[in-house]
Structures are given as structure tokens and as C-alpha cells.
Amino acid sequence: MLLTIQEPTPAAQAVGIDLGTTHSLVAAVIGGKAAVLAGDHGVLLPSVVSYRPDRVEVGHDARRWQTEDPQNTIVSVKRYLGRALDDLPEEFRLPYRFAKREGMVRFETRAGSISPVEVSAEILKVLKARAAQALGNEPGGAVITVPAYFDDAQRQATKDAARLAGLNLLRLLNEPTAAAIAYGLDRETEGIYAVYDLGGGTFDFSILKLTDGVFEVLATSGDPMLGGDDFDQTVCRFLMAQNGIDSLEPVDYRRLLEATRLAKEQLSLDEQVSVEVELGRGKKLSFVLTRQTFEQLTANLVQRTFVSVRQALSLAGLAVKEIQEVVLVGGATRMPCIRRAVAEFFGKLPLTDLDPDQVVAIGAALQADLLVGNRARGDWLLLDVIPLSLGIETLGGVVEKIIPRNSTLPIARSQEFTTWKTGQTAMSFHVVQGERELARDCRSLARFELRGIPPMAAGVARVQVTFQVDADGLLSVSAREINSGVEASVSVIPSYGLSEEEIAQMLKDAFAHAQQDLEARRLSEQRAEAMRLLEAVEVALAEDRALLDEAQFNVITQALESLRTAMEGRDWQAIRNGIEALNQATVEFAAQRMDQSIRRALAGRTVESIAE
Amino acid sequence: MAVTLTEKAARQVQKHLAARGKGVGIRVAVKPSGCSGLSYALEFVDELGAEDATFESFGVKVVVDPKSLIYLDGTELDFVREGLSEGFKFHNPNVKGQCGCGKSFAV
Amino acid sequence: MVTGERNYFEFFQLPPQFALDLNELDSRYRKIQAWVHPDKAARLSEIEKRLCLQWSTLASEAYRTLKRPLERARYLLKLYGVDPEEKGEVAREFLLEQIEQREAFEQALANRDLKALDRLADRLQAAMDDLVGALAFLLDVDRNYRQAAELVRRLAFLETLWDKGNCARTEWSE
């Protein structure tokens, strides 16, 4: 084939977002270097969203309302993602009012009943705008980090938030893995890294092996309900008890909590702090807190983190001394007691040269840059694992494990079922996540209903159900009757997530006052998708035209032309149909290309070696 | 070694650059594209990267990034007419096997 | 296509034998993942993304199966048309030895005797290493698949015990 000269491809810009419990950040690779992007008040955006009578405020602006108007001001929303009211310890229910409902909690605010997904989307929108300003363009895609220990419902909720915020989510990335990428690329040393990540609301611990451009997660563990906030809560309860206070108004509690948080931060530098808190109705609370008292109060929280650490070591089959480097991530690891405990446990000083608040966003930006095809920092491969086992509920509420925790992603497992009634055309499964033996002790993820099984005599139908977990750690289920080859349709009823209809409704609500906006957005989304597809197919044709016979080639070029024509119009439905048609037309071609490339991968040089 | 143009190729590049109205030269690269294969790419150059290597052929600047250079060193670019189509053709001494279409290769 | 049954050894272009060069397996697995991992497909079409997901899943599954001796032996036996679980007979003396080991193990657990548990773990490891050595001979040289199947069942026993020990150790440390 002969080549022509192309216009230079502008470097695609993608961002990395650390959607944190207390702070959120956005970073991007600019000129080959990853940097955290700053807003008006610095790089950290407080993860606070306040529903004002006339608008929504996010970040520093919202923060001032958290004591004045706590019920309409949501802080630490990450704790509520994919969570039901029953999952929440008492201290995280205050000061909010929750809607009475099953499934994921909803905050009752003056703006109505709001899902944590919508609150998170508000934070993401601000970060997206910040990135657009810094880059001079809307970011083409985003990698968003989640705690490694997030279950499927929490991951799905994060993904939904990205969609609501209008971000093109390239991938969900585990926070410790992101940190390992940042450190690994920075230090260029191979070996076994441990990442100790204590954030505002979650604790994550991962062990990774870095070799030859591969980041392989060996084990991950954590505590989704343990973070820096818990240190504040503990001290708060101590102060209340010491001053003979049984309960506080929501406003006062927030004030005390805020004062405690500041005291905690100060204690990382000083041996003691004195604090005075103005409470409502002229009350005042003053106290002196020493580092020693603080550390005594919170010692068991620190110890709790090492339960997860030992668990991960055992899962990876490693001894403490085999860990070459320990990386600290998360603002809470600034506490001297944590650093000391980590150093003692591992017998070596932890690495802290990258800012523990920023390292996750930096790693996410590097991964985002790689995903959109820039290789300024070389090429690498990320092999992550599923943090919790997936299983289905069987007779008597016992869980049958389908995918064991710590399996490398992506992974799929199939299971065969049969019908128990003659002519039965439907069946359903309850999928749970966790390590316990009884379904009620695990997290309920969803119920999957299969329909369209061909009617047969009882016990004759062989329904093969495939559970696929993708690289983001998200589950999808498909089913097929083996004798007839008929695909069963699968509908998902998420236990804590949002249904497809709910999301559609939220998207609609967001544009409720401007139907045109919604249409315009759909049009631009479909056009962007069509552009991506056209480009991908054109590249494929240029490279592997030889794999197609004349008839196949014509089918593809026709679909290609139809889509081009549709793109000139303003009918997003027509574009979507065109995309679907072109996708269908290229199924076989894509499969052939893939087969060929696997053979090449083993025969010739690989992307890895090109990167060197 | 270097990456070079034949005189015919250089004249074509100059013609294209003039028609385009801007650009300092031509970039020759090897691009891995996802699950597919390795392929050559030809682009106009508006700005030089810090690590780029540059070569001159008949007054035309040829720009190659260091990673591509490993695969392209010694390559000569020609401009040819084959049947009805015309375009640039790579003569790469590093190539052992080449697929039918000539755009993908194994080094 | 991806979905059909594929011979995992052919998939990695490795000889179908029990004595496998694990470093080579590692490197081939990574080479394939470097091409087909979904992260490499972010800019490709939906179809190609789905194919990458399927290929990557297959690569992981094949790697997982060939990497561990027990799974590799089971897989080889299946290729040879022997179901290692069928007629699950195990030599009497091995079973008796097993019962003894299990009792010693239960006792160590009951007494929370970490040292005794460590000693048992060392013995288990040695026994498993012996079995793996014997399997290599039976499968690759002697081609005595019936006897290999019996050793596979033994190995499965030992691995279960080994896993139990590990779980207990983790629980203690908690």
C-alpha cells in the first residue's frame, strides 16, 4: 500500500480524576509531564456540595455552608455511593435527612431527593470545567480512581456519576494502583511494592509486582469504612464525653467535627493544640489536645489497618520482608502515628516523596494519557484484580462462589443451569459479592432475570450463564441455552445501583429546562462516537484490507458511507443507527484482525519492546 | 545512519508543503495501533519535539522520534506510481516479513 | 473466534507437557496481554473493544490454568481424555497418612500452635514438591495417565489442607 501525508494528529488530552472522600483533584499530562491542575483555591477541591436555594455550590464555596446549613450541604459523599441506609453507621447518618426507600440512599435536600451519584456528578462537573480551562479544550476522556476495595455497586455508581457529568470515562482505576504507577514510573525500579492508602473515608492496601513494564497487582484488601474521618469522629466522641455532652445539634456537631479535623492536622506538626469551638446559643467548648492523647484514642484505628495488611500479604503468599518499598497515599498518612506504625511493621521507612494527596491523581493522569494513545512516558501494562469474590445465591441462601477474589481482571466464568419445570422460559439469579458463606452476610449486587429460554421438558434445557468482570471490575451477565444456541435476554435489577431508567431520568432532569440542550448533547455525543468508529475502521481497512474479499469489503464501505452521510445531518438517532450498522458490518473483520495480531504478538516484536 | 528521501519523494513533499502553506518538514513514524499491528505513518510537522531526530534530504527536513528510529534507521522513502494510485513507499532494511498490503510489518 | 474451545498450550505456542518453562509462560502471557488487554483498546471500535475483552479474558484463564501444577496436570489429563476426578480412588496408605496429617493439623489449630503449624506446612510443601516431580515423569515420559490421575487427586488433597492452614494463619493474625 502507498501512503499519503496526513495532518499531524493533535495530542489527545485526557485527564485523571481522584474523586476523594474529603478532596477531589484533576491532573493531566502536559508536555510529557503529569501535573495536578489548580483551581481558584489551589489544587484540592473539597468534596463538598451545597444545594442553595438558587444554585448548586461545590468545593470551597460550599464549605462555608457545612456548618450553617448542614442538611443541604453534603460532605464525604463517597461514603454513600452504592450504599443503603442500613449499611451506614450511626455517625454517618447525621446530620442528613434520608428518603425512606430501599436501595441506594437519597438525601432529602431543598433541591429535592438527591442521589449520591448526582452529588458526585456535581464535583466531577467542576473538575471537568477546571480541566477544560487549563487545557483549552474539553478533556477527551477521563480515568477516575476508586478505592481498590470498592464493590461492584460502588464502582457502577462512580461510573454513572461520570456519565451524568458528561465525562467520557476511559476507565475506573484502583487508587493504590494509580499511586503505584506514579511511583513506579518515577523511580524506574522493579520489585514488589506495597501501597498503604488511608484516605478520608476508606483504607486500601495493595501489593504490586513491577517488572518489565508490567504493573501486576498481587493482592488487595482494605476496609471501606475506615478513614481519616474516623479519627475525627473518635476524638469528637471523646471530647463530648469529657464535657458531659450527650448529643449535639447537627450544626454544632459539624462545628466540633471541623475543629477536631483542624486539630488533628495541627497535631501532625505540633505536640499539642488548644482549640475553642463556638457552639450555638452562645455555648463555647474549649479543649487542649496533646498528640499523646490523640494517639492513644486512635491506636485501635491504626491497628485495624494492619488487619487488612496481613490479609493481603497472606493472599499474595508473601512475607513482610519480601516487600521492597512501601508507598504512603492519602492525606491521613501524614499523621506521625501512621508513619511510625508502617515503618515498624515493614521494618523500613515508607516512601513519601510524592505528595500523598496528589499521587493518585497523577497516576490516573498517566494512565489516561496512555489510554488515549500518547506514549510520552513509555508503554506499560496494568493487570489488576477483583477485590471481593462474586457468587450466586443457591438453595438455602448459601453462596456458590463463581469468581474468587484476587483473580486477575478481566475474567469470565460460566456456569450451567437447567430448568426445573417443563416449558419454563425464565429464571433468575441473585448475585452477591463478599467472602461469607451465606448470601445475607454478603453484599447483594443485583438480581438478573433471564427470559427467552426456549421451552423444553424440565431438566433438558442447558442454560449457560457467563459472568464477565471487565478491567474496571464491573460485572455483566449473559446467558445462552446450549442445545438451541438461543441467547436469553438478561435484565438487571441492581440492589443498590441506579437502573438504566433512573439514569435516563436524571440526565433528562439535568436538562429539564432546555430540551434543546439535551438534543444538542446527544447529537454531539453520537457524532464523537461516530468519529471514533470511522477512524478506527479506516485504520483497520488501511492495514488489513487484504483479509477481506470483495463482497465483505463492499458491505463495510457501504456501512461506512451511510454513517458519513448520517453524520452530516442533525438526527442523533440516525447516527446511532449508522454506528450500530457499521459495528455489525465489521464484527467478522475485527475478529480476523485480532486473530492475526495474536499470532504476530507471539511471533514478532510487541508493543512493549517498541516502547523501549 | 538516517532516514532519507529519494529526490522524487522530496519534490513531492515540497509540493505538498507549499500547497499546505505551513510546516517545517515531514514526520516518519512507526505506530503500534491497539490490538492491530505496527504500521508506518507520515505526517506534516509544525513543531519539533524535544527528543526528535532530524535529517535533511534534498532540502526537506525528515523528523523521526527516537522510538520509531529504532525501527526505521536506514529507511529510504520513495514516491511511486502503482497502477492508478500513487504515494510514498518505504524501503526499510530492518523489515524481515511484510504483509500483503505493505503497511504492517514485523521487524 | 474467541469463544470456541482452544488448546491453552497452542494458545501460548508452548509444547503440551507438564514440565513447562514458567518464565517462558510468563513472558508469552504478558506479550499477549500487551496486545489484547482492554486498556489497549480504549481508542478502538466497540466491536474491537469487546474482542479485546474476550481475548484478554481467555489469556488470563489459560495462564491461570497452566501456571499452577495441579490445574496444569488436570488440564493435560483432560486433553488426554482422562477425567482426573472420575473413579476418585487414592492409595490406602496415602489416605491413612492424610488422616494422620489432618489430625495433627486440627490439633495445631485447636492449640493455636504456630510452630506446629509451620512444621506441618514444611512437610506438606515437601510432599507436594515430590508429587509435582512424579507427575512430570508420569505425564511427560511414562505417559501413565491413570497413575497420574491418582497423583493429581493426592495433590488436590494436600492443596486443600495447605489452603486451610493459610486461612487459619490469617485469621490468627487478625
Tell me whether B69 touches chain A (CB under 8 Å): no
Q: What is the pLDDT of residues C18-39, one digit of tens each?
A: 999 999 999 889 888 888 899 8
Q: What CA–CA distance (Å, rounded) separates B8 from A3?
A: 15
Pairing assessment for the beta strands A203-211 and A214-223 based on DSSP bridges: antiparallel
* Chain C residue with minimum CA distance to B34: C40
**Residue A493 dihedral angles phi and psi, to the nearest 5°:** -115, 95
* Chain C residue with minimum CA distance to B36: C35
Q: What CA–CA distance (Å, rounded) separates C107 from A348?
A: 36
A vs B, Cβ pairs < 8 A, gives 93
Q: What pLDDT shows up at residue C172? A: 61
Contact A608 C38 (CB under 8 A): no
How distant is the Cα of B82 from the closest Cα of chain C, in angstroms?
Answer: 31
A78 is catalytic: yes
Burial profile C96-110: b = 16 or more Cβ within 10 angstroms, e = fewer = eeeeebeebbeebbe
Q: What pLDDT shows up at residue A506? A: 75
Domain extent listing, chain C: 8-67, 92-173
Which among A57, A152, A175, A229 is annotated as catalytic? A175
Pairing assessment for the beta strands B25-32 and B60-64 based on DSSP bridges: parallel
DSSP single-letter state for residue A11: P
Around Cβ A515, how many Cβ atoms within 10 Å? Answer: 10
DSSP single-letter state for residue A321: G
Can you name the residues that pair with A215 across neighbouring β-strands? A210, A382
B vs C, Cβ pairs < 8 A, gives 15
Tell me whether B1 touches chain A (CB under 8 Å): no
Which chain C positions have a beta carbon within 8 Å of B35's beta carbon? 35-36, 40-41, 44, 48, 51-52, 55
DSSP string, A473-497: S-EEEEEEETTT-PEEEEEEEESSS
Q: What pLDDT shows up at residue A10? A: 61
How distant is the Cα of B107 from the closest Cα of chain A, in angstroms?
Answer: 7
Please, what is the Cα angle at C36 between C32 and C40, to 5 degrees?
125
Q: What pLDDT shows up at residue B38? A: 61
Q: What pLDDT shows up at residue A514? A: 52
In total, how many domains does chain B have? 1
A40 is catalytic: no
**503-542 of A, contacting B, C-beta below 8 A:** 539-540, 542
Can you name the residues that pair with B105 across neighbouring β-strands? B98
Around Cβ A449, how many Cβ atoms within 10 Å? Answer: 15
Closest to A5 (Cβ–Cβ): which among B26, B50, B107? B26
Return the CATH architecture of domain C8-67: Orthogonal Bundle (1.10)
Residues above pLDDT 90, as percent of chain C: 28
Q: What CA–CA distance (Å, rounded) separates A479 from A417?
A: 10
Around Cβ A102, how many Cβ atoms within 10 Å? Answer: 9
Predicted complex ipTM = 0.83
Q: What pLDDT shows up at residue A339? A: 95
From first CA to last CA, the distance across chain C in angstroms is 47
How distant is the Cα of B93 from the closest Cα of chain A, in angstroms?
Answer: 16
Q: What pLDDT shows up at residue A611? A: 30
Task: Enumerate residue ranges in chain A where pLDDT < 50.
Answer: 605-612
Domains and CATH numbers, chain A: 14-181+358-374 (3.30.420.40), 390-499 (2.60.34.10), 511-603 (1.20.1270.10)
Can you name the residues that pair with C76 across neighbouring β-strands? none
What does the longest C-alpha to C-alpha distance in chain A come to?
86
How distant is the Cα of A535 from the closest Cα of chain C, in angstroms?
Answer: 9
Q: What is the pLDDT along chain B (107 residues), one digit of tens a residue?
A: 788 999 999 999 999 888 888 888 899 887 654 444 567 788 888 877 767 889 998 999 999 987 778 778 888 999 988 776 788 888 877 765 444 344 444 44
How many distinct helices (H) and strands (E) make up chain A?
A: 16, 26
Contact A412 C43 (CB under 8 A): no
Contact C43 B34 (CB under 8 A): yes
What amino acid is encoded at A109 in this protein? T
List, in sequence order, every beta strand (DSSP E) within A155-232: 169-174, 191-198, 203-211, 214-223
- For cell 486473530, what's the residue? A595
Reading the block at residue A491, the C-alpha cell is 435484565
Q: Does the predicted model carry a pTM greater than 0.90?
A: no
DSSP string, A544-598: HGGGS-HHHHHHHHHHHHHHHHHHHSS-HHHHHHHHHHHHHHTHHHHHHHHHHHH
Residues in B whose CB is inside 8 Å of some CB of C read: 34-35
Q: What is the pLDDT of residues C126-156, one digit of tens each?
A: 989 999 999 999 999 989 988 898 899 889 8
Task: Select from C56, B32, B64, C40 the least CA-distant residue to A604.
Answer: B32
A128 is catalytic: no
For position B46, which CATH number holds? 2.60.300.12
Q: What pLDDT shows up at residue B100? A: 39
Q: What pLDDT shows up at residue B36? A: 41
**Residue B29 dihedral angles phi and psi, to the nearest 5°:** -145, 165
Which among A57, A69, A78, A325 is annotated as catalytic? A78
Q: What pLDDT shows up at residue A204? A: 93
CB–CB of A70/A110 below 8 Å? Answer: no
Task: Select from C20, C109, C120, C31 the least CA-distant residue to C65.
Answer: C20
- For cell 443457591, what's the residue? A394
Which residue range forms the structural domain that includes residue B56? Answer: 4-106
A195 CB contacts (<8 Å, ≥6 apart)? A176, A177, A179, A180, A204, A205, A206, A207, A208, A326, A327, A329
Give me the CATH topology for the region C92-173.
Monooxygenase (1.20.1280)
Contact C51 A601 (CB under 8 A): no
Q: What CA–CA distance (Å, rounded) separates A64 from A48?
A: 10
